[in-house]
C-alpha cells in the first residue's frame, strides 16, 4: 500500500462584498480535512471507520454533507493509495483574512462553523453593521440619491443596483458628518460572537501530532513605523513601513497519545501550543476586525477598542501582552506604542499574501510521500480588458487609476515564478538522489549485510551510520571538503537565526550579522582537513573540532 499526504496551503484574496463566497470555499476545505480525519481515525485498513463515515469528535455540532463525498473519494483510492489531506498554512487579507481566522481556529481545535452562515447572511447585513449609530438624516438621503444613481449608471451601466441596495445605501451615507457608516465596535462584537459560537477549544484537532498550523493575516498600519536598513555608506538608513502581518499558530508536540484537558476548561493541555484557544479570541477578533476595516466603510481599528469592548462585557484581555510581544516586536525596537496606532484594511498593500505562505511551507517535516499544493481563492478574477486604442485616458480616470486601481492591482506572476523556481530546484535534487540511490543501496547492503532487519537499538543504527559516512567520505575524495564546509556554514546560519530570535535581533540587522561572523570564525578558527578528520574517526581517534560543530 502506498502512503501519501496531500498538503494544502491556502491564500485567500481580499474582497469587500465577497466574504460569503470565500466563507463557502474555506468551509469546503474544512469539510475535506474532516473527511480525511474520519477516514484515518483507525490505522487498520480493514476497520469499520474506513467503510462508513463516522466522525471521531462527538462534540462537533456541524452536520456532515459534502464530507460524505470526500470520504467516498478517499475510500475509492484505498487500499492502493492511502491518502491523507492536511491544511497546514492559511494566509488571507481583508474578507479573506477574516475567513482565514475562522478556518484556522476550526482546523486547530476541530470546531463548528455552521452558525457562521446566519452570521454572514443576517448579522452582517448593512442595516445591522451601523450598530448604535444614528442613520443618515433626510437631507443626507436627498443629496445622496442623485449621486448614487449617477455613479450606478456611469460605472455599472445596464447592471443597475437592485431595489434593496437602492433602498439601503442612502440610509448609510451621512454626507455632512463625513464619518464611516459602519460601527467598528459593533463589528468587533459580531466577530467575537462568531468566534465564541464555534465552541470551546479542546484536545481535538485536524492537525496531526508534531505538525504546525500557521495562519497569517495582513493589515495596514496607517501611521507606520520606521525600520532601520543596514547599508555601507551611510551605515544605516531609515524607511517607513506600513505593511504588517499578524501570525497565529498551533502545534501539538505530543507523539502518540492525547491528554485530557486540565481543570481550567479555557486552556488546552501543556503539550499543545495554540493561539486559537478561547482565551485567544480577543486577539483573533482584533486581527479580523483590522484586516477587514475597509477605508471609508469602517473606522480604523485600534487595540484600545478591544479593551473597551471587553470591559463592557466585564472581561479582560488576559493574553494581550503575549499578543503584543509576538506581533509587535518591530514596534518596540522603533520606540512605537502599538496601542496608539491605527490599522486599516490589509488588502491595501498586500491583497494576495503569497509570500508568507511560500515561506511557511519550507522546512516542514515529512514521514511519507508529500504532494504540496497552494490554493489561491480569488472570488472575482479580473476580466479581460480591451487593448489600448491609442486614445489617452481622461484626467479623472488617470487620477483614479494612479491613486487606486493600479496600486491595488497586485500581479501574482512574481510569486508563481518563485514557486516554479523552487519546484525546479526540488526536481534537480530529486534527480541527483535518484541517480545516487542504486549506489547507496549497495553501500547499505555491504555495510549492514544480514543485520539490517534485526536492528533493535538506536546505538546500532548510530554505529552503522558512522560507518556509512566514513565510506561516503572516502569515495567522495577531494570534493568532500567543500561539501563539509557548506554543511558547517549552514549550521552556523541556523544557529544565527536561532540565537537571533531568542535575543530579538531584527532580520538583517547589524547584530545578526555580527553574531554570524563570530560563530563563523569560531567554527573555522583552525585550518581543518575534513578528510583527515573522518579518517581519524575511522581509526577511533578523537578530533580537535569544536563539539557543537561536530
Q: What pLDDT is attached to residue 173?
A: 56
64 Ramachandran zone, left/alpha/beta (phi>0; psi -120 to 50): beta
Cis peptide before 79 (omega within 30 of 0): yes
How far apart (Å, rounded) are the C-alpha atoms in residues 380 and 14? 10
CA nearest neighbour of 320 among 289, 285, 282: 282
CA nearest neighbour of 289 among 193, 219, 183, 188: 188
Q: What pLDDT is attached to residue 172?
A: 54
CA atoms within 13 A on the CB side of 42: 13
- pTM of the full predicted structure? 0.82
Q: What is the mean pLDDT of residues 405-414?
A: 76
For the segment 17-70, what is each residue's pLDDT rounded down to a tens digit?
Answer: 567 888 999 999 999 999 999 999 887 777 777 888 989 888 888 889 999 999
Is residue 111 classed as helix, strand or coil in its secondary structure?
Answer: coil
Under DSSP, the state recorded for 71 is H
Burial class (CB in 10 A: 0-12, 13-18, 19+), 319: middle
Q: What is the mean pLDDT of residues 302-323?
A: 95
Q: What pLDDT is attached to residue 89?
A: 96
Instruction: Reply yes or no on whether the pLDDT at 109 is more than 90.
Output: yes
Instruction: Reply yes or no on whether the pLDDT at 431 is more than 70.
Output: yes
Alpha helices in 348-457 (DSSP H): 354-360, 395-400, 413-448
CA atoms within 13 A on the CB side of 425: 7
Instruction: Reply yes or no on whether the pLDDT at 442 is more than 90.
Output: no
Check: CB of residue 74 under 8 Å from CB of residue 66. no
Is residue 453 classed as helix, strand or coil in its secondary structure?
Answer: helix
Q: pLDDT-derived band of residue 487, with 50, 70 and 90 as boundaries?
A: confident
Element (H, E) at 40: none
Q: What pLDDT is attached to residue 153?
A: 55
Under DSSP, the state recorded for 132 is T
How far apart (Å, rounded) are the C-alpha atoms in residues 506 and 496? 12
Look over the chain and give the mean of its residue pLDDT values, rounded to a whole number.
82
Instruction: Reply yes or no on whether the pLDDT at 258 is more than 60.
Output: no
Determine the number of helices (DSSP H) and then strands (DSSP E) in the chain.
19, 7
Least confident of 155-159, 287-291, 332-336, 373-377: 155-159
Check: CB of residue 18 under 8 Å from CB of residue 101. no
Q: What pLDDT is attached to residue 74?
A: 93
Distances (CA, A) of 315 to 285, 307, 330, 389, 419: 14, 9, 28, 61, 45
For the segment 446-486, what is each residue's pLDDT rounded down to a tens digit?
Answer: 887 777 777 778 888 888 887 887 788 777 777 777 888 88
Cross-strand partners of 373: 8
How far apart (Å, rounded) are the C-alpha atoms in residues 100 and 12? 7
C-beta atoms surrounding 303 within 10 Å: 22
Q: What pLDDT is attached to residue 536?
A: 57
Instruction: Reply yes or no on whether the pLDDT at 269 is more than 90.
Output: no
Bridge-based pairing of strands 369-377 and 343-344 is unpaired
Over pLDDT 70: what percentage of the chain? Answer: 83
Least confident of 29-33, 155-159, 409-413, 434-438: 155-159
Q: In angstroms, what is the C-alpha Rg of the chain?
A: 28
Instruction: Reply yes or no on whether the pLDDT at 261 is more than 50.
Output: no
CA nearest neighbour of 170 among 192, 149, 156, 195: 149
**Which value, to the nearest 10 degrees, does the dihedral of the CA atoms of residues 95, 101, 103, 105 take?**
-160
Q: What pLDDT is attached to residue 352?
A: 86
CA nearest neighbour of 166 among 151, 181, 183: 151
For the segment 490-511, what is each residue's pLDDT rounded down to a tens digit?
Answer: 999 999 999 998 888 887 778 8
Instruction: Reply yes or no on whether the pLDDT at 175 is more than 50.
Output: no
3-state SS string over 200-224? CCCCCCCCCCCCCEEEEEEEEEEEE
Q: Give the residue, 30 or 382, on which the prediction is more confident.
A: 30
Q: What is the mean pLDDT of residues 370-393?
A: 83
C-beta atoms surrounding 42 within 10 Å: 14
CA atoms within 13 A on the CB side of 148: 20
Residues 6+ apart with CB under 8 A from 90: 9, 10, 12, 100, 103, 104, 107, 213, 214, 215, 216, 357
Distances (CA, A) of 253 to 7, 256, 257, 372: 19, 10, 11, 22
Least confident of 47-56, 76-85, 332-341, 490-499: 47-56
Amino acid at each position: 500500500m502506498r502512503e501519501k499526504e496531500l498538503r494544502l496551503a491556502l491564500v485567500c484574496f481580499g474582497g469587500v462584498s465577497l466574504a460569503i463566497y470565500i466563507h463557502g470555499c474555506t468551509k469546503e476545505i474544512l469539510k475535506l480535512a474532516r473527511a480525511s480525519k474520519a477516514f484515518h481515525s483507525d490505522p487498520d485498513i480493514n476497520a469499520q471507520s474506513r467503510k462508513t463515515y463516522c466522525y471521531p469528535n462527538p462534540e462537533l455540532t456541524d452536520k456532515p454533507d459534502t464530507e460524505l463525498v470526500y470520504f467516498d473519494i478517499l475510500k475509492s483510492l484505498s487500499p492502493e493509495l492511502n491518502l491523507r489531506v492536511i491544511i497546514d498554512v492559511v494566509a488571507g487579507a481583508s474578507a479573506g483574512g477574516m475567513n482565514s481566522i475562522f478556518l484556522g481556529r476550526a482546523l486547530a481545535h476541530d470546531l463548528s462553523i455552521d452558525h457562521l452562515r446566519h452570521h454572514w447572511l443576517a448579522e452582517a447585513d448593512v442595516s445591522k453593521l451601523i450598530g448604535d449609530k444614528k442613520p443618515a438624516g433626510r437631507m443626507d438621503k436627498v443629496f445622496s440619491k442623485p449621486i448614487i444613481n449617477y455613479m450606478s449608471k456611469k460605472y455599472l451601466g445596464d447592471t443597475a443596483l437592485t431595489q434593496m441596495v437602492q433602498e439601503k445605501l442612502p440610509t448609510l451615507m451621512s454626507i455632512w458628518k463625513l464619518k464611516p457608516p459602519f460601527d467598528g465596535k459593533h463589528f468587533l462584537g459580531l466577530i467575537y460572537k462568531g468566534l465564541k459560537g464555534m465552541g470551546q477549544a479542546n484536545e481535538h484537532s485536524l492537525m496531526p501530532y508534531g505538525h504546525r498550523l500557521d495562519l497569517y493575516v495582513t493589515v495596514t498600519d496607517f501611521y507606520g513605523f520606521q525600520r532601520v536598513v543596514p547599508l555601507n555608506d551611510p551605515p544605516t538608513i531609515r524607511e517607513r513601513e506600513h505593511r504588517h502581518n499578524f501570525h497565529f499558530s498551533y502545534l501539538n508536540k505530543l507523539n502518540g497519545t492525547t491528554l485530557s484537558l486540565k481543570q481550567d476548561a479555557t486552556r488546552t493541555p501543556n503539550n499543545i501550543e495554540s493561539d486559537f484557544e478561547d482565551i485567544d479570541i480577543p486577539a483573533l477578533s482584533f486581527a479580523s476586525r483590522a484586516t477587514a476595516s475597509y477605508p471609508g466603510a469602517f473606522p480604523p481599528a485600534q487595540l484600545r477598542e478591544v479593551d473597551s469592548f471587553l470591559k463592557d462585557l466585564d472581561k479582560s484581555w488576559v493574553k494581550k501582552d503575549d499578543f503584543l510581544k509576538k506581533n509587535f516586536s518591530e514596534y518596540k525596537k522603533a520606540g512605537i506604542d502599538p496601542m496608539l496606532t491605527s490599522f486599516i484594511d490589509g488588502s491595501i498593500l498586500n491583497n494576495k499574501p503569497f509570500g508568507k505562505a511560500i515561506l511557511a511551507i519550507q522546512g516542514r517535516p515529512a514521514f511519507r510521500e508529500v504532494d504540496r499544493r497552494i490554493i489561491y481563492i480569488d472570488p472575482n478574477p479580473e476580466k479581460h480588458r480591451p487593448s489600448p486604442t491609442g486614445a489617452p485616458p481622461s484626467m479623472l480616470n488617470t487620477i483614479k487609476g494612479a491613486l487606486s486601481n493600479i496600486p491595488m492591482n497586485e500581479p501574482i506572476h512574481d510569486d508563481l515564478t518563485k514557486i516554479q523556481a523552487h519546484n525546479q530546484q526540488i526536481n534537480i535534487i530529486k534527480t541527483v538522489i535518484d541517480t545516487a540511490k542504486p549506489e547507496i543501496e549497495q553501500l547499505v547492503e555491504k555495510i549492514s549485510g544480514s543485520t539490517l532487519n534485526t536492528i533493535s537499538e538506536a546505538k546500532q543504527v548510530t554505529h552503522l551510520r558512522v560507518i556509512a559516512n566514513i565510506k561516503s567520505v572516502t569515495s567522495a575524495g577531494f570534493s568532500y571538503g567543500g561539501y563539509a564546509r557548506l554543511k558547517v556554514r549552514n549550521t552556523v546560519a541556523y544557529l544565527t537565526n536561532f540565537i537571533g530570535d531568542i535575543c530579538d535581533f531584527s532580520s538583517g540587522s547589524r547584530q545578526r550579522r555580527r553574531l554570524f561572523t563570530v560563530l563563523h570564525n569560531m567554527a573555522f578558527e583552525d585550518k581543518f582537513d575534513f578528510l583527515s578528520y573522518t579518517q581519524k574517526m575511522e581509526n577511533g581517534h578523537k578530533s580537535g573540532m569544536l563539539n557543537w560543530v561536530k
